[in-house]
Structure 1
Amino acid sequence: MTLIPQYNPEGFKAAVKSGSEKSVHKEPSDFYIVDLSVQKDQLNLPFLPHRLTMNDFVFVKKGELVKTVCSDSYSIPGCTLMILPAYKIRTMETFSEDIEGYYCHFPDELLSRDNGFKSLQEILNYLDLKNDHRITIPDAMKENLLFILKRMKESYIQNDNDLISSYLQTFLAEIKSIIQDLPPIILTTNETTAFHFRKAITQYINSVHSIQEYADMLHVSPNHLNKSVKMATGKTASSIINETLTMEARSLLSNTQLSIADIAFSLGIEDPSYFTRFFKKHSGVSPNQYRKRIGLSY
């Protein structure tokens, strides 16, 4: 069972209000680009936690937006890009009234293996190690990148797949050049442990909830794991587990019609009463109250 509901981009567009952007791509779920000022009016915020089946990015020219990735909240100010791989948990929280820039999602298939895809992987690997998917855009590159995005959007409207691919790969090559000018990421021992811990949580949160089990996976003691994660992130290992599990639960409560018992079971919790207590402890409301608060009742 997929724990966080997944949107392919066609489903993502169906989840927002109809805007002036028209679907013109041969397969409209493949690629999408929109002005952030338009998306601000399309989305009912906060947009609930979800996974997207393709890569996406936001480029903020002016203003600010707040986006949650997994359990961490990020402010994205002007001259900043955030690019995320497929399937990472995400949600839009807020936009400033003066927001300007672009939102885009795209599939790997638009990228050549020897060029665009390689650039994308280099970018994502760097940001994954950095544990922060934001990139500050140098002033000298801002206008060039905005020009590329403008042409990319025009190509999308004109249904020119070849130009879309060309501009997208040029955009990623420019971002890769920014990454290459940044200092290399050299993780401390604690940061390396925390990095692998987060990777393990992403993969196993639906079935593994104890520090002992994650410590066994990483071949360290529970005490060492907790100390390393605390030193690297400022959070305890248990708090990260609980935050991730709570986000999974919120998404299932808001995006599915599963019963509370079924949600508990899908998260690896056999006792629905324990799940209800856990959720209330970490969210401040019971699962049913949470559904009522966001306007759902099943």
Structure 2
Amino acid sequence: MLKLDFGKFFIVEVEKLIRLIKLPVPPIRSTTHTFIFLTDGEAVMTIGSETYTIYKNECLVVPAGQVYSFNNVDQNHGYLCNFHNDFIIGKFGKNELLKDFEFLRVWGNPRIHLDKQTAKFVRRLLKRILLAYSENGLANLDIIQSYFIAMLCEVNRVYKPVSVSTKTNAVSITNRFRELLVDRIRTNHRVTDYASELNITPNHLNKAVRAITGKSPTKWIDEAIVLEAKVLLYQSTLSISEIAAEVGLFDSSYFSRLFKKYEGVTPIAFRKMIEMS
């Protein structure tokens, strides 16, 4: 199903892809964007620390840099596209275009409901893209890229952001904080670190993030550390103390307490659960 250069772009029917995947898919960090559109059924996926369910005529987006996982063999039909930023930029796209698609940012709303007409357009475009990709892969780059950008524009037309707050400054601060969190989580664990990078006071950052997300920056940081640790527990053979050091916590006892606070079990018990599954 996957052609050459699949690290740049590929498209598959979800019902065919799921047959090739060994479940559960553990927490992994995406280095490219994943876009799912369902034509029937439902799909459940955890993105970051939140779990989302989508149904017919809905999309789910995992932005590059985000951690995701899923456990179930869902009964569904639709399309899954995986693509690099470079695929959007080229003959028909520019850097500025990426900024228009908020759903490709780590702070965007990953769940998008399409109205009936938009769903029909998106389905036709994805069907055409799949046909071109199946025939000659990215040898049909011009056709695939132009239709794909058109499809993203259709989705963007009905996209609704997570926050409808009129506190635009607080929204901007929160979004920038969440982007920094993805890049700096292994080294920056203090609210003061992020406030300094954003050139605001820790108190200002705390108020802004709480107002928009309902969670403190400290909780966002803690959850991101635990999520990063889960990726390493699944994907590496590092010891617990080595994983603690990888996420920037050199006190393995504190790391274990923090992990248990959010997961209900210690990192050692979590790894044993992985080995038994």
The answer (yes or no) to whether the contact 2:43–2:53 under 8 Å persists in 1 is yes
The share of aligned pairs that are identical, in percent, is 30
Does structure 1 residue 280 correspond to structure 2 residue 260? yes
Distance change (3 Å), C-alpha of 1:67 and 1:117: farther
Query: Could you state the TM-score of these two structures normalised by the residue count of structure 2?
Result: 0.85
> How many aligned residue pairs are there?
274
For 1:244, the equivalent position in structure 2 comes to 224
For 1:70, the equivalent position in structure 2 comes to 48
Q: Distance in 2 between matches of 1:249 and 1:272?
A: 12
Q: Distance in 2 between matches of 1:66 and 1:50?
A: 16
Aligned AA for 2:29? R
Candidates 7, 11, 14, aligned match of 1:36: 14
Please give the residue correspondences for 1:116-195 in structure 2 after superposition, counting only pairs within 5 Å.
116-117=93-94, 121-125=98-102, 128=105, 131-163=108-140, 165-180=142-157, 188-195=168-175
The answer (yes or no) to whether the contact 1:110–1:165 under 8 Å persists in 2 is no
For structure 1, the 5+ residue unaligned runs are 1-20
Aligned AA for 1:192? S
For 1:50, the equivalent position in structure 2 comes to 28
Alpha-carbon RMSD: 2.8
Q: Distance in 2 between matches of 1:68 and 1:56?
A: 13
Superposed CA deviations along residues 121-168 of structure 1, whole A, max 9, x for unmatched, are 144346539721333222113233222222322333322424354134
Query: Could you state the TM-score of these two structures normalised by the residue count of structure 1?
Result: 0.80
Question: What SS is found at the alignment partner of 1:156?
Answer: helix
Superposed CA deviations along residues 47-74 of structure 1, whole A, max 9, x for unmatched, are 1121233222111112221222222322
Distance change (3 Å), C-alpha of 1:256 and 1:182: closer
Q: Distance in 1 between matches of 2:146 and 2:112?
A: 17
Following superposition, the deviation at residue 222 of structure 1 comes to: 2.5
Distance change (3 Å), C-alpha of 1:47 and 1:181: closer
For structure 1, which segment, 235-244 or 100-109, has the greater mean C-alpha deviation from structure 2 after superposition? 100-109
Aligned AA for 1:147? R
For 1:266, the equivalent position in structure 2 comes to 246
Does structure 1 residue 290 correspond to structure 2 residue 231? no
For 2:67, the equivalent position in structure 1 comes to 89
Question: What SS is found at the alignment partner of 1:159?
Answer: helix
Question: What SS is found at the alignment partner of 1:268?
Answer: coil
Following superposition, the deviation at residue 169 of structure 1 comes to: 2.6
